[in-house]
Structure 1
């Protein structure tokens, strides 16, 4: 298999992070630290209502049982050996060095501006390091489209991005492709553990294509004609939305959410994207099982009782896999038959 970037060398590189590890790591770790492989995550891009928590091999068993509400299965433990948001044998070692040359300037020059300063009273941040910023985010978009089947970008746009990444060293800011891109920074206050309330994942059914990577939310448009004011759970303010669509290569402007707005956005995102879908899907499963058992429809009171049973008093419907939901459905009906 040839490397997806250079399309010449053999894809010999293992463990290539297609979302930059140093950005997402504090979100994935159970204590918000930068220690590798010590936390859990779930993917917001899936159309399924089930959130199968993925955890890393360094995650403590106590933390897992608290989060999942159960002991992890053998299958989940085996899956934990995989490194999140990384791939094997898609890129080559030489192109990995190109990725690093794009990532390092952002990590050294740009990231400290955000994470090492108080932005609670800040609404926007501008940077004149356009090449560093734009190419860093173009890299996230291109690699995600290569590595995630559900994250799709037009083939001509993908080729423009590939060539820009491949020729990064020779390019100036004026040479960069001018794809519209909007980035929101989610300001995190307090202890490092607060980063774990953020999310990592991507959408698969919208234009723009959206990537949530810890404290940065990327909205990528394929062309100017596709720009539209998408609400996306309060992420965008219609009054100033176009101010943050970075089309020109003269500077790059970030939208900033203070900590309160960050938490409100994340709450809405999880509620709309997962919880509502889960309630509907789980109710359908219950109704089907009820009909097969009693040959009739359950009342709304019975359905609500079932959902309360499923959440176990915690209002957490995101802890169950499909297998667990079906088992607990049978358990609930079985208890009624006793």
Structure 2
């Protein structure tokens, strides 16, 4: 069934390329930062929320370039000033990712300057300007929102700072960034949707969404729904919990009051929210009676699989440091062959949860 969703992605990408793209989209940027200024005058093409997430996905399973560490001279990183406009450091996944980036930056002698937007898009844009004003050589940018987050590319262009997108995508033109290492949020949702369609026949589903309008929320909703098309599974209610555990617990408590007995599955856009849902189910004496799915791979959530309270998780790798900094080095060395790469998900369920706790899949 995943072939159907990636096929849809390919069709949309082709249409978009014919109608809206002004750049080549696949050319490698071999220029160093001093000559890699993005065009401040260009504006990103308008898209609907659905197509935004689709563009951030890879084309097809056969044509997707999967992310991998690049074999290049890493000595060019010594003394480099890299700015990282982090979305937030509230959840376990982002904390683990941030710590890995710091560790690898230190390993290669990189001056790593990080800000924390606390999931406020306006603050993140302000952070980007502050970082650029400090004379950074590279901006690493995980946008909070797909459309609004595009303004950061214009800010970076005004300072002549090359941009590398990490994790999240935003509306952009090819000239406005030098590389993207993105999680495929459509595939994340698709992996969970495929699991439901193949293992939970006739599921009545509650969907607990992330921040509405964010790239992960759009993609994970779209990918999940696409995999349910043509099945007898049904989403009966969608509510946002903004990626937060406590908020997800409160939302689930309210849903239990309004929809008790009407659903048997809860799909959450992150493990943080899945853990909040499990807490609400436990408080109501319903743990183990509802299928719960999450996305990330937190050890706390994987343990809940082992304990029988979470059904499945689509993983997202937190250890992005070597990938990011080898990509930066390859760009500086003029050796960056693939401008856009995808970090794909894997499923953890009862069949491999014990193994995932020790083999690096869970964090």
Q: TM-score, normalised by structure 2?
A: 0.24
Greater strand share, structure number: 2
Q: TM-score, normalised by structure 1?
A: 0.25
